[in-house]
Structure 1
Amino acid sequence: MILVAAAIIWLVRSRQKNTVDLSLSAVLTHTFHKSGEQICRIPQLDVNAPVIVKLLNTPKPLTCNQTEKNWAFVENGRFYIADEAVRIHGSIKCNHFRFWRVSDDELASDVISDVQNGSLIEKSDYFRAECNSKDKNKWSNLFATIVPDLSAIEKAKAAKKSTAATNLDVLILVFDSLSSLMFQRKLKKAYKFLVQDLEAVVLEGYNIVGDGTPQAMIPILTAQTELELPLTRKRYKNASYLNDVYPMIWRNFSKHGYVTMYAEDSAALGTFTYRLKGFNKQPTNHYMRTFFMQAEKEIKNRMCVGSEPQHVVHYFDL
């Protein structure tokens, strides 16, 4: 692999000089240092290379339901009816259809009737609000929030912490099928903020270690490849559940006093449930698969949650 990579890098450089030497000796010269030490040269690629830029396009901005804004919202763990909705429709009464995880394939639910404005959200992170107004109109929408897990909080408080602990929150945010260069092209403000404001370390030599989302994600979360770990592919009878055999990094955080969450924006194509066996116990304190199992039944355009873009609701509100 290193030999092939070095050959490709060298060919690119050779073309810049309008010469291409395909001899093995030339390839080896660019793969090994004179001392015989094997080295890896990371290619310095042009972010704005004309051959790539000409193929790019910018999609139109996402617009959700512009007819009417959401009637209700969640703030600081409480459910509120929007003043604007009351001005337009008169008094509004809402019921909550709460749902929670039984397994990776099953949900349970209940209904709370006549939820008062400002009510504390309890029991589940996820619910659908069903509202009726004085002028006989109806509105409903799904909500995802964070209901404090008191047992997890007490466990976190009791956890033994290192004297060197920084107490920083940790967020691992993954964009699937997005290269480093494309991130720089399409998320320019985010990249600038990371590099200049936060002085982030960019791992320029990082590359995928397999073809597919699980093959990329598993090493990030476990420090091992799928082939190095016990079998978890669901089509095999002797396959194990992931939480029984995978050393997921969130276990390390739980051990050191963190409350954890795993979230991805699809249940049907879940990284650990589409081809793999999934989890027989909820893997983290908060788990967004539950929300999307219900959302995929109800919402046709899952890029929007009511009148708001999904990415705004989930990346910023949570």
Structure 2
Amino acid sequence: MNRRIIWLLTRMGINKVRGKRVLALVIALFFLYALVFHTSEIELTDRAAQLKEMAKSIQTLNSHSDLWHGRQACRHPSFDVNSPEIMKFVKFEPPIECKGEKDWVEIKGSRALITQEARRKHGDIECSFTDLIRTNDFSTQVGLTTKTHTEYSLESSDFVRVDCIGESGKRWNNIMAGARFDQDIFDRTGGTHCPRVQPK
């Protein structure tokens, strides 16, 4: 067969050396084509097998009624939280006791009140309340300062700096947080997440 092809190529005016090269190229292309075609056929067969397996697993899942009737498909293990294996890591911690004096001011909602205990200890107390206004995510500014001997109502901000001085000259200060009543926020949220009763 090779002689015939070479003879044909020679007859067409192509010399023998060049004909052998062309013949080798034709044979190489034939083997390459056969290799690619055969491999893709194997891949197609494997893909068909994969699709069959996927269809079978979907049918198996559909047969489990627990998945589709509101029940939990994945059962979580039941552990005893007081088991010795866990309890060996739990250590008793005594309650936290803050040393020093209690706060002179306490906040209830939007009202900051000078406590009776502080009045008993330090006599008449004058406190300066300075609003801390958050202008954006990265900065704050100081608002107005109000002096009082009784209470302060948060109106411009939820945060306030408190500086107090008692009759004896003793001082106390802190930055405190409350929850002011803001009609704009109340209107924007529709009142569903805020108490409907306005603070007194």
Bin of the TM-score, shorter chain as denominator length: 0.5 to 0.7
Deviation at 1:43, TM superposition (A): 1.1
Aligned residue for 1:52? 86
Deviation at 1:111, TM superposition (A): 4.0
Q: Greater helix percent: which structure?
A: 2
Over 3 Å counting, the alpha-carbon distance change for 1:152 and 1:76 in structure 2 is: closer
Does the 8 Å CA contact 2:124/2:149 hold for their aligned counterparts?
no
Residue 62 (1) aligns with residue 87 (2): no
Deviation at 1:73, TM superposition (A): 1.4
- Offset from partner CA, 1:4-57 (integer Å, 9 cap, x none): xxxxxxxxxxxxxxxxxxxxxxxxxxxxxxx94375232112212211211211
Give the greater-gyration-radius structure (CA): 2
Aligned length: 127
Q: What SS class does the counterpart of residue 103 from structure 1 fall into? A: coil
Whole-angstrom distance in 2 between the partners of 1:90 and 1:40: 65
Unaligned runs of 5+ in 2: 1-58, 65-72, 195-200
TM-score (norm: length of structure 1): 0.36
Unaligned runs of 5+ in 1: 1-34, 158-256, 261-318
Select the residue among 75, 78, 88 that pairs with 2:121.
88
Residue 137 (1) aligns with residue 170 (2): yes
Q: What RMSD in Å do the two structures reach over aligned CA positions?
A: 2.5
Q: Greater strand percent: which structure?
A: 2
Does the 8 Å CA contact 2:112/2:151 hold for their aligned counterparts?
yes
Does the 8 Å CA contact 1:90/1:133 hold for their aligned counterparts?
yes
Deviation at 1:258, TM superposition (A): 3.2
Residue 258 (1) aligns with residue 192 (2): yes
What letter matches 1:141 in structure 2? N
Does the 8 Å CA contact 1:95/1:111 hold for their aligned counterparts?
no
Q: What SS class does the counterpart of residue 118 from structure 2 fall into? A: helix
Over 3 Å counting, the alpha-carbon distance change for 1:147 and 1:57 in structure 2 is: same
Whole-angstrom distance in 1 between the partners of 2:152 and 2:78: 55
TM-score (norm: length of structure 2): 0.55
Whole-angstrom distance in 2 between the partners of 1:133 and 1:56: 45
Whole-angstrom distance in 2 between the partners of 1:77 and 1:45: 44
Whole-angstrom distance in 2 between the partners of 1:62 and 1:108: 34
Residue 104 (1) aligns with residue 137 (2): yes
